[in-house]
Structure 1
Amino acid sequence: MNDKSLLTKKIVVLPLTMLCCLLWGSAFPCIKLGCRYSAVSSDDTASQIFYAGLRFTLAGILALILGSLIERKLLVPKTSALKKAAKLSLFQTILQYTFFYIGLSRSTGMKSSVITASNVFLSILVAALVFRTEKLTVRKIFGCLIGFSGVLLINLGGIGGGFRFTGEGFVFLSALSYAFSAGLTKRYSKTEDTVLLSGWQFVIGGLFMTALGLILGGSITVINAKGILMLIYLGFVSAAAFSIWGVLLKHNPVSMISVFGFMNPVFGVILSYLLLSERSGAGVYKVVAALVLVASGIVTVNTASNKNKS
């Protein structure tokens, strides 16, 4: 995966991004199931943070083991890389997932999917206005609007019920944190191994959240096979998806890769329905229409990215 030309080809980028989106989409219902299996209630913030910390510590370990096996050497960071991993961890793990876990527990999987989709807009805005790694164009904005309309369509009927700052508001802050982490990943990957950065930032962030959860009084009182397997799966989701996504961000514009994130809530809605029986107002025709809109948005932004690579 170190061949730049290969990692910029659509025939490679498309299936890899879809795999990441499927994994992330499954996280919406699986986090709820995992907390249910481990008896972590929606009003127990400390235990939610503790649970997330365990997940990401595991994700970091899995990413580092996998990366070490692939590269046939231990992924031990230098001091400079460790500092970058710590900064990345603040946004990609600590802030993003502290807000996400707490917010998701106070909202529905469908509403969270829609709000999380805003990270596509935010990532492109942050990349263009804060990190200045690419240009912000009308075509990119238009493509995002088309894709987001598909996200809204598939969630019709499941996005009502009001707004809570510690619910939907926290999910939005999670999306904003992700946008900054995408920009940092793009910047740091120019000089550092992306899998090494991903693994160590998860370890740092996971240990921090685990310790914070314990200090606040969090715990997991119910331990069973279902809960353990779900925790392992969630760790795998993060290890695999973020490592692959980081490699793709290294070799492509942020807008080109981030726009595929509109598929996350599409998968999230479908899997929330299958696993949690959370129903949206979207029938078969609306789901198909939503997929067409999301695909159109992805094509529009990628056309803009190809013309304005930076």
Structure 2
Amino acid sequence: MNEIKAMEKPIKFSDPLFVTLVASICCLLWGSAYPFIKLGYSAFDILAEDIPSKFVFAGYRFILAGLLLLFLFRVMSKRKFNLSGKQFSSLILLGVFQTGLQYMFFYVGVANTTGVKGSIMNATTTFFSVVLAHFLYKNDKLSKNKVVGCLLGFIGVVIVNFHSNLLEFSFSLSGEGFVIIAALIFSITAIYAKHLTGSIDVLVITGISLFVGGLALTILGLLLGGRVTHFTLESTGILIYLVLLSSAAFCLWNLLLKYNKVGKVSVYNFLIPVFGALLSALFLGETIMELKNLIALLFVSIGIYMVNRVSSRKFSNTLES
């Protein structure tokens, strides 16, 4: 119990530099999922159009990640999961929507649009989070800095994904529409998870929600005829890495949301596609030092600074008083 309390010290998780470091690590981990998921599809012989098998693959990943976090909770706190019926129902709901439904829309949407457009549409997560926080929290209102910062971050995402076919306007509900719906679901459920952290340990919230969502994805994928059977040393290693990154990133992200304003944390989401592009280049043999990648990183970094500038000053004043 002492270890968990120490890990969740509000002063540390509210420190601007610490938030930047941890949020960047989370986005780096999520960004690394882009190339490793592609490598996983290849290692498990999952075809691009085989959405049900992708559901099963994602389900295995989240089930194992959830079980890992729940195991860590038991080892670190040496407590049982003393949850009320209402709390347990809330976590079931969170898992079904945040992990299950969100990824269902995301995978189907990405399959029906280009990777470029999918990545850009998914970046709307930050906009949804900032706008929702404006209406739900009195101390997290929209400001000029937030608007400018979000726009700069979004421009960065567009730059890193820029391709000639981006100029061809097209929109389909089952493609770009589903990716946007997935982004909206993630934004809403992230705020709901922040609400739950007031009464439930973050490890338990993240563990149960990942497990439940993973179970939902696995069952759905199996019912639709999906299968993941080609287990080798390579494919198992990739799956283990994805399990570890999911458990670490989601847990740390929920801790950041617990002790910080939603807008302050959500803006870091713009880093995910940038890291994804850089790491995809590194692991998939693409060109890594493209000028557009560096320009995109610059735009995103300035955007993050703009959103967090006021918060940093307020934090400094708090420490001095």
Normalization by structure 1: what TM-score? 0.90
Aligned 1:58-97 pairs, distance under 5 A: 58-75=64-81, 77-97=83-103
Show structure 2 runs of 5+ residues with no match. Answer: 1-6, 316-321
Which one of the candidate residues 96, 113, 128 is aligned to 2:119? 113
1:84 and 1:131 map into 2 onto residues whose CA distance is 20
1:225 and 1:75 map into 2 onto residues whose CA distance is 34
Aligned positions, number: 307
Partner of 1:49: 55
2:165 and 2:155 map into 1 onto residues whose CA distance is 13
Larger radius of gyration: 2
Partner of 1:139: 145
2:278 and 2:156 map into 1 onto residues whose CA distance is 14
1:158 and 1:183 map into 2 onto residues whose CA distance is 36
2:98 and 2:184 map into 1 onto residues whose CA distance is 10
Partner of 1:232: 240
Which one of the candidate residues 105, 109, 131 is aligned to 1:99? 105
Greater CA drift, 262-271 or 136-145: 136-145
Q: Is 1:270 paired with 2:278?
A: yes
Secondary structure at the counterpart of residue 162 of structure 2: coil
Judge conservation of contact 1:110–1:268 (CA < 8 Å) in 2.
Answer: no
Q: CA deviation at 1:164?
A: 4.7
Q: Is 1:290 paired with 2:289?
A: no
Greater CA drift, 99-108 or 251-260: 99-108
2:230 and 2:112 map into 1 onto residues whose CA distance is 21
1:295 and 1:233 map into 2 onto residues whose CA distance is 27
Q: CA deviation at 1:222?
A: 2.2
Judge conservation of contact 1:109–1:272 (CA < 8 Å) in 2.
Answer: no
Aligned 1:173-192 pairs, distance under 5 A: 173-192=181-200
The one-letter code of the counterpart of 1:157 is H
Normalization by structure 2: what TM-score? 0.87
Judge conservation of contact 1:8–1:252 (CA < 8 Å) in 2.
Answer: yes
Partner of 1:32: 38
1:126 and 1:74 map into 2 onto residues whose CA distance is 34
Judge conservation of contact 1:53–1:209 (CA < 8 Å) in 2.
Answer: yes
1:158 and 1:178 map into 2 onto residues whose CA distance is 29
Judge conservation of contact 1:110–1:269 (CA < 8 Å) in 2.
Answer: no
What's the RMSD between the two structures over aligned residues?
2.4
CA distance 1:254–1:187, change in 2 (3 Å): same
Judge conservation of contact 2:16–2:312 (CA < 8 Å) in 1.
Answer: no
Aligned 1:142-291 pairs, distance under 5 A: 142-157=148-163, 160=166, 163-277=171-285, 283-284=290-291, 286-291=292-297
CA distance 1:158–1:121, change in 2 (3 Å): farther
Q: CA deviation at 1:197?
A: 0.5
1:84 and 1:193 map into 2 onto residues whose CA distance is 13
Q: What percent identity do the matched residue pairs reach?
A: 37
